[in-house]
Chain A
Amino acid sequence: MGRRRRRQPDPADAARALPEAIAALSRTLPAAPSPEIFRRAKFDRPEAAPALWRLLFHVLSPLSADSASVSFTLEAQVRWVKSVLHSQGYPRLALVQLQDDGSQGGRELLLALAWLLARGPLPERLLTQSHVRLGDEMPVCECEALASPGPPAPRVEAEGSVDIRHLQWLMGKLQLRWRNLMAGQQEQCALLGKIHSYTRGCHSDRSLGHLSVTETELLRDPEGGRQLLQRLETENARLEAALEWRHRELVFWRWMDTVLDTCPLEASPPTFLPRIPEPGAGAAGLPVRELQALQEELQALQEELRKAVEARRAAWQAAVGGHGPEWRAARRALQVAVAQDLAALQWAWEQGKGQARPHGPRRLVRTEARVPGRLGLWATEATEALRAREACLEAMLHQLQGQCRQELARLVGVRPGLIWVPPPAR
């Protein structure tokens, strides 16, 4: 009668907890497979591997899940995932050794996924990337783009001879594409300006004052409005799944421990020598003796490695040092140059320390008056920061061009019988 009976922990609950946790994870990640696939992956079943490769591809790639990624074959995706994980410092060699056709290695892929999840707030980061944006946004810095791995590049075969004209062709194509991109961006800015000024006063939020392109389309085309609503609902579902995931994570990590246990031991390089306790008598002494043998073996290996490295270094120095004083002078010049670069970097950092560098994408708002206390970044400040950055990069470019010119001049001097025809100066 009103007294609450204490609920016994239901064993069925415990059994359900893991699949529910994994289901929550699936719902929040893009292109994630079902909990059943995860379970099969633990036992290294072949059908689980392709799905997990694709999951890792979508998680690591900066592109949105639809557009370009469907055009990549599984093999290309596998190779790319391996290279990205390697560049991020993934420690397990077994992943790299998996076959490129993506047919095996479900367990290793689970471990890779867990590693990525453990490093940082992965679902939250992915959600931020694919966030539905209502305003017209523009990035003010390149940090995000520079930090994320690039899209998969086509494999380039290093053949014997390279056709310079083909290279010139590709270079020209790149430059023209760049110019077209710039022109396209300028057009976009001009049109955005028009839309923003035409829709002044239409927005219910006074601080914004005008509509963005998405909002204008919403008003013009009800079908578009329905699609936007759908996208918002999908995003909502993913956010809820992310919250649920955070509640249920622990179960998943306990399960991942069991996955790790089922993996064969990996021969990873020793980073330190384990401290071996004193050998005792009896049954306990056996493993200790084995440990000691292991330690001696490790020491021997390290000694061998050190000798090999020294031999290599001596050989290299002999090969390079054959140039004598010229080489020493070059080395000194190099040291001076590096010191100069370092000093310049330090100076530049000191200068810029006071100003906070603006980051991330911002919504564009066109307004007349400078309202005090308004949060946000003024375009003039952003452009100033960008101009400073541009000046730095131009200086670097000039320096590199000067080095190239010196190198060319040196090459010209080497072969007196050669006539150089430089391209017409632009």
Chain B
Amino acid sequence: MSIVTVQLGQCGNQIGFEVFDALFNDSHCPGGLCSKRENEAYQASCKERFFSEEENGVPVARAVLVDMERKVISQTLSKAARSGRWKYGQHSCFCQKQGSGNNWAYGYSVHGPRHKESIMNLIQKEVEKCDSLSGFFIIMSMAGGTGSGLGAFVTQNLQDQYSSALKMNHIIWPYGTGEVIVQNYNSILTLSHLYRSSDALLVHENDAVHKICAKLMNIKQISFCDINQVLAHQLGSVFQPTYSREGSFHYRRNPLGDLMENLVPHPEFKMLGVRNIPQMSENSLAYSTFTWAGLLKHLRQMLISNAKMEEGIDWQVRPPLSGLPPLGKMSVNKETHFNTSIANLVILRGKDVHSADVGHHRALKRVLCAEHLKIQLSILPG
């Protein structure tokens, strides 16, 4: 099944490019541990999800690019075409000239209705190219005007027009010491609207990713490109083909369906986060060895102590012993920093995956006083 990506605004388009690039490169990288047949199955599955085939054989990303300014979209299109390995569709983008001025209402109430038909037509064309649709993946930031306001509008329209399709919104949480003055307003407005029309909200915080770049990847001058690449790496590991735990001979067909069924069945708890381990720069790879047991232990403590990366984990935090806290006795001043997620999903990739023992994580699933849902990921260099 295929996923149609909608890239909105400057942030959405830049991230979207990195995501497709990461997905393509991952599925086509030489080497690796699997047989040729396995590799081909993996490639085929990845390709069907994110790319469609054009006459001259170059894969075309299943994406619609939307922005109110021309600059970023043309940069994105040319970067993709330059690589020569994959590209965006020529007619898959929509841009205007005037921008949104970081104004949520401008994106939602002015640009939205004005350009609704053109944008929905583009999406419709992309959907028709799919044999079957797993759902929509909408990339946007919350701070700006286009991504947030227009994003909320587009998601609502997708809900109306494709009510049976799943929608996951990828939201970029702005820096605390923000870039935009009105980012708080934009964020709240976006979240409240998305909560009604989206099925799942996958949140990436700029601050957290920035720290990952600084501490784990050892990048001196962190640019948005670096941040986007880390993001793309995390997203890729979520969306690449997977087997189920019980074992199977074929890759699972419906990536969004699997994620949502396990993580967001409850209509009031829709927010998701991603945690990845290990994250490091390419150079350090040669000097490191990993074991599943070690990685899983770190990942588990990252989850319990609400840490965003594997450095600086607080090992003192423990899960509460009784499972369910008594209802109505939630004291907000509890400084336990214990993670309060409702559900978790672990995706493991790498060598000897079947020997990895995920262990006794059930206790974590019963804590029902939560606001957040998290996904766990574990990545091993292949």
Interface residues in chain A, defined as those with a beta carbon under 8 Å from any beta carbon in chain B: 163, 165-166, 168-173, 175-177, 179-180, 182-184, 186-187, 190-191, 194, 423-424, 426
In the complex the two chains form, what is the Cα distance from A190 to B131 in whole Å?
A: 6
A186: min CB distance to chain B, Å: 6
Q: Is B179 part of the binding interface, using a Cβ–Cβ cutoff of 8 Å?
A: no
What 0/1 readout, one digit per residue, does chain B (254-271) give for beta carbons within 8 Å of chain A? Answer: 100110110011111000
A80: min CB distance to chain B, Å: 22
Q: Which residue of B lies closest to A424 (CB)?
A: B196
A9: min CB distance to chain B, Å: 56
Q: Which residue of B lies closest to A161 (CB)?
A: B327
Q: Is B214 part of the binding interface, using a Cβ–Cβ cutoff of 8 Å?
A: no
In the complex the two chains form, what is the Cα distance from A346 to B182 in whole Å?
A: 65
> Which chain B residues border A169 with CB–CB below 8 Å?
265-266, 342
A329: min CB distance to chain B, Å: 38
Q: Which of B123-158 contact A (CB under 8 A)?
A: 131-134
Q: Is B166 part of the binding interface, using a Cβ–Cβ cutoff of 8 Å?
A: yes
Q: Which residue of B lies closest to A186 (CB)?
A: B132
In the complex the two chains form, what is the Cα distance from A166 to B342 in whole Å?
A: 11
Does B261 contact A173, Cβ atoms closer than 8 Å?
yes
Does B261 contact A182, Cβ atoms closer than 8 Å?
no
Q: Can you give 7 contacting A-B residue pairs, CB < 8 Å?
A: A168-B266, A169-B265, A180-B257, A180-B261, A183-B132, A183-B164, A187-B1
Does B261 contact A176, Cβ atoms closer than 8 Å?
yes
> Which chain B residues border A424 with CB–CB below 8 Å?
196
Q: Which residue of B lies closest to A166 (CB)?
A: B368
Does B261 contact A191, Cβ atoms closer than 8 Å?
no
Does A163 contact B131, Cβ atoms closer than 8 Å?
no
A72: min CB distance to chain B, Å: 16
A263: min CB distance to chain B, Å: 44
Q: Is B253 part of the binding interface, using a Cβ–Cβ cutoff of 8 Å?
A: yes
> Which chain B residues border A175 with CB–CB below 8 Å?
265
In the complex the two chains form, what is the Cα distance from A182 to B132 in whole Å?
A: 11
Does B267 contact A179, Cβ atoms closer than 8 Å?
no
> Which chain A residues border B132 with CB–CB below 8 Å?
183, 186-187, 190
Please indicate which of the listed interface residues A163, A172, A173 has the most CB atoms of chain B within 10 Å of its own CB.
A172
Does A165 contact B131, Cβ atoms closer than 8 Å?
no
Does A170 contact B257, Cβ atoms closer than 8 Å?
no
> Which chain B residues border A194 with CB–CB below 8 Å?
131
In the complex the two chains form, what is the Cα distance from A266 to B257 in whole Å?
A: 54
Does A168 contact B267, Cβ atoms closer than 8 Å?
yes
Does A177 contact B131, Cβ atoms closer than 8 Å?
no
> Which chain A residues border B368 with CB–CB below 8 Å?
163, 165-166
- Interface contacts (Cβ under 8 Å), in number, total 55
B251: min CB distance to chain A, Å: 13
> Which chain A residues border B164 with CB–CB below 8 Å?
179, 182-183
Does B267 contact A423, Cβ atoms closer than 8 Å?
yes
Give the residue of A170, A184, A191 whose beta carbon is less than 8 angstroms from that of B265.
A170
What 0/1 readout, one digit per residue, does chain B (357-368) give for beta carbons within 8 Å of chain A? Answer: 000000000001
Does A172 contact B267, Cβ atoms closer than 8 Å?
yes
> Which chain B residues border A179 with CB–CB below 8 Å?
164, 166, 257
Q: Which residue of B lies closest to A187 (CB)?
A: B132
Does B267 contact A191, Cβ atoms closer than 8 Å?
no
Q: Which residue of B lies closest to A173 (CB)?
A: B265
- Knowing A176-B260, A190-B131, A190-B132, say if A183 contacts B1 (CB, 8 Å): yes
Does A183 contact B267, Cβ atoms closer than 8 Å?
no
A234: min CB distance to chain B, Å: 22
Q: Which residue of A lies closest to B261 (CB)?
A: A176
In the complex the two chains form, what is the Cα distance from A168 to B264 in whole Å?
A: 11
B367: min CB distance to chain A, Å: 12
In the complex the two chains form, what is the Cα distance from A368 to B260 in whole Å?
A: 40
In the complex the two chains form, what is the Cα distance from A170 to B342 in whole Å?
A: 13
Does A187 contact B253, Cβ atoms closer than 8 Å?
yes
Does A176 contact B257, Cβ atoms closer than 8 Å?
yes
* 10 closest A-B pairs by CB: A172-B265, A187-B132, A180-B257, A173-B265, A176-B261, A169-B266, A190-B131, A169-B265, A424-B196, A172-B266
In the complex the two chains form, what is the Cα distance from A170 to B260 in whole Å?
A: 13
Does A187 contact B266, Cβ atoms closer than 8 Å?
no
Give the residue of A163, A166, A184, A426 whose beta carbon is less than 8 angstroms from that of B254.
A184
- Knowing A163-B368, A423-B267, say if A187 contacts B131 (CB, 8 Å): yes
In the complex the two chains form, what is the Cα distance from A105 to B254 in whole Å?
A: 47
- Knowing A163-B368, A165-B368, A190-B132, say if A183 contacts B266 (CB, 8 Å): no
Q: Which residue of B lies closest to A167 (CB)?
A: B266
Q: Which residue of B lies closest to A170 (CB)?
A: B265
> Which chain B residues border A171 with CB–CB below 8 Å?
265
B265: min CB distance to chain A, Å: 3
Q: Which residue of A lies closest to B327 (CB)?
A: A163
> Which chain A residues border B131 with CB–CB below 8 Å?
187, 190-191, 194
In the complex the two chains form, what is the Cα distance from A423 to B261 in whole Å?
A: 20
> Which chain B residues border A191 with CB–CB below 8 Å?
131
In the complex the two chains form, what is the Cα distance from A165 to B265 in whole Å?
A: 11
Q: Which residue of B lies closest to A423 (CB)?
A: B267
Q: Which residue of A lies closest to B195 (CB)?
A: A424
Please indicate which of the listed interface residues A166, A173, A175 has the most CB atoms of chain B within 10 Å of its own CB.
A173
Q: Which residue of A lies closest to B133 (CB)?
A: A183
In the complex the two chains form, what is the Cα distance from A171 to B261 in whole Å?
A: 11
New A-B contacts (12) at CB < 8 Å, excluding given A172-B267, A176-B257, A186-B132? A168-B265, A172-B264, A172-B266, A177-B261, A183-B133, A183-B257, A184-B254, A187-B131, A187-B253, A190-B132, A191-B131, A423-B267
In the complex the two chains form, what is the Cα distance from A179 to B164 in whole Å?
A: 7
In the complex the two chains form, what is the Cα distance from A172 to B269 in whole Å?
A: 11
> Which chain A residues border B134 with CB–CB below 8 Å?
183
In the complex the two chains form, what is the Cα distance from A170 to B368 in whole Å?
A: 13
In the complex the two chains form, what is the Cα distance from A166 to B266 in whole Å?
A: 8
Please indicate which of the listed interface residues A183, A190, A194, A424 has the most CB atoms of chain B within 10 Å of its own CB.
A183
A164: min CB distance to chain B, Å: 11
